[in-house]
Amino acid sequence: MEQIYQNISTTGFATSSSTSNFTVYGLGQCFSYLSHVSCQLCYSQSRVKLPHCLPSTAGRIYLDGCFLEYADRDVSSHSVDEYDAFSCSNTTVADALQPRFNTLAAALVENLTAEAYRAEGYYQAASLQVASTLTVYGMAQCWKSLTATGCRECLEKGKQNIVGSCLPADDAKAMNAGCFLRYSTEPFYEAQAADGSDGSSENRPVIIGVIAVLAALVVIGIVLLWWMRRSNSAAGNDNDDAQRNNAIIKSIANSNLSFKYEDLMKATGNFDHHNKLGQGGFGAVYKGVLPNGKEIAVKRLFYNTTNWVDQFFNEVKLINQVQHKNLVKLLGCSVEGPESLLVYEFLSNTSLDKYLFDSFKKTELTWERRLEMIIGTAEGLAYLHGGSVVRIIHRDIKASNILLDEKFRPKISDFGLARNFAEDQSHLSTGLAGTFGYMAPEYIVHGQLTEKADVYSYGVLVLEIIMGSRNQNSILASADGHSLMQQTWQHYNSNTLMTLLDPDLHGCSEEEALKVFKVGLLCVQASPALRPAMWKVVEMLTSRLRELPIPTQPPFLNTHGSQSGGEVSEASYLLSASEKMTESVDQTSKDQISLSILQGR
């Protein structure tokens, strides 16, 4: 499995064999629409599940996006065998649409079968509109180890099974030895790679359904024009601005993602303080109820920052380019009133900090829920860092920016500080912004921003979740004179980590808890190069087979000055209080900062 991982993470396909007396063969294939990171995540999940087939001499698993198999024989050239299977959904399309659906779905599968074996990578995906409210999607993928003849044979068998046995079911899958074929009324594949490309970030246009794309482009275009208008006004182009303003207002009226300012005022009770859900660095968030009864969250941007226009545009632009189950969903915005408003999905359990740091509410955070929050947040960050159409660094991962839905499932929010950068960029040099206690040391000292800054923030969050304690900016502010990371590191070295476990947690195994502690420590290591990538973190948290690396010492951040120790050498880096900081950082945190990286002799 490790040999397969080496190649599948870069090429999307791999085979391997053991070198022992008893030879075991393996094959892994990511479907071509997956990005590299999504492929790695899918492979990690399949590698955890596949060993459940043991002690059988062969096993295979199909997930939505990848395939993994082991056997006591070389199976790389097998196109069909006696273990081929197909699956039909228990639900069907509406009776009135069934004749047309059957015809078009069969034609779609026929076309995919005829094209995939001749396409590069043996992959083809397409869709056909059956009615205004119904579209059928299809995808065909052969393993790259097959010949074109073998691929065709495999897909033909799959086509006969699902077309002949499943229609008018609304979803069907053919799972053969050398291929996977599926149709569905749901867009199960990532459409950006539907042209048969390898799903790499260099060749992925954003296609998330025609309506969503057009609506997103309208809003982004509106905000961009508006932003340009405000920039040009500084140069004295008042007449042009007035004309642009009229055009923008007209575009807003026709936008599916637009909201009228008056409607949002009524929905929030004129921004009544009783409806206030929380407040971040760039705005306050209010609960609102639309006339149809739908609950929403409305973000009202502050005007006391000089770059609020940039933050608004940045958040709309970035969040419209990403869609993931662990990211908060942007429903729209309003730019026609006296202030700018962002409208998000409403999450009934507000933010994680409201529970985690409340002695009464935290009892609702069971071990299962906390572990789901830890894994879900990791998956969301892994998507931002490499699974979406752009690489995005969030820059402000913390408990208050993790929102919880009705089942306490986590969603990352607040993209006002987020930044995206090109594939060939190793880092961004940017002004300091974020929250002290969560900010990576290399970012504080040098202002160099990479994904590893998010990894560090995530590690702090993990330790907070499992310990039920807030990380203190200063070791002098904690009860025993030690920061959260310093406590964790000391107990790690003395093998007493379980004494730090939140006493309100019950039912978790020591093995699981220690693994989470160790993952948290790996993420907050002083050296960014040693911190694991977020997709690797997901693998660590979900796999039971892999031995975790040994963490090195984290840095200890102290806003009141450097603390020296008797048996350590200390390297301190001071940031002058006169250095300019972003306005999102608390005024109380603008004192002198020392960063101490301690190494035992």
Binding-site residues for ATP sit at: 299
Neighbours of 298 (CB within 10 A): 26
Whether 396 is catalytic: yes
Measured on CA atoms in the order 312, 316, 318, 322, is the torsion positive or negative? positive
Is residue 553 within 8 Å of residue 544, measured between CB atoms? no
Q: Tell me how far apart the alpha carbons of residues 179 and 174 are, in angstroms, rounded to a whole number.
A: 8
Question: Which of 322, 310, 291 shows the shortest CA–CA distance to 201?
Answer: 322
What is the phi/psi pair of residue 403, to 5°?
A: -90, 155
Helices then strands, each counted (H, E), the chain: 15, 23
In this structure, what token pair is assigned to residue 529?
Answer: 């190069």
Distance of CA 246 to the CA centre of its chain: 37
CA dist list (Å): 70 to 28, 45, 56? 9, 15, 10
In this structure, what token pair is assigned to residue 474?
Answer: 């200063």
Q: Tell me how far apart the alpha carbons of residues 587 and 477 are, in angstroms, rounded to a whole number.
A: 17
User: For the chain, how big is the Rg over CA atoms in Å?
Assistant: 26
DSSP 147: -
How many Cα neighbours within 13 Å face the side chain of 86?
24
Q: Which helix (H) or strand (E) holds 455?
A: helix 451-467
Q: Tell me how far apart the alpha carbons of residues 445 and 593 are, in angstroms, rounded to a whole number.
A: 10
Is residue 206 within 8 Å of residue 322, measured between CB atoms? no
Q: Cis (ω within 30 of 0) for the bond into 549?
A: no
Query: What are the binding residues?
Result: 299
Q: Cis (ω within 30 of 0) for the bond into 528?
A: no
User: Which member of 198, 396, 414, 454 is catalytic?
Assistant: 396
> Mind telling me the catalytic residues?
396
